[in-house]
Amino acid sequence: MDQGKQREIASKGGQAAHKKGTAHEFTSDEARAAGRKGGETVSANRVHMSAIGRKGGESSHTGQKSAQNKVAPDSQRVESDTQNGDQPSDAGSYRSE
């Protein structure tokens, strides 16, 4: 049986149980215990935890390194300053006669 068909059957069973009033609904204490159990199981796998930590660290630090390395050379800075017709930023060092 394919996965879609199995999900469809399970969904119909769950809907029928809710209509009938016999479906299990977790209390907040049961849900909390189940979440704690799942978290303990996942965190016990140290290889998995280190992999997801590494992935998170890489994604949170990618912008910082690339922004620091993208400093425009001086010639480009002066050019960008003069694009609007303004004087270059170091124009004060020139003498006008």
Residue ranges in 1-97 assigned as alpha helix (H): 3-20, 28-43, 46-69, 74-81
Write the CA distances from 76 to 80, 81, 82, 94, integer angstroms: 6, 9, 10, 19
Cα–Cα distance measured from residue 4 to residue 12, given in angstroms and rounded to the nearest whole number? 12
The tens-digit pLDDT sequence of the chain (97 residues) is 899 999 999 999 999 999 999 998 889 999 999 999 999 988 899 999 999 999 988 888 776 655 555 555 555 554 444 455 555 555 555 555 5
Going 40 to 46 to 47 to 48, the CA torsion angle's sign is positive
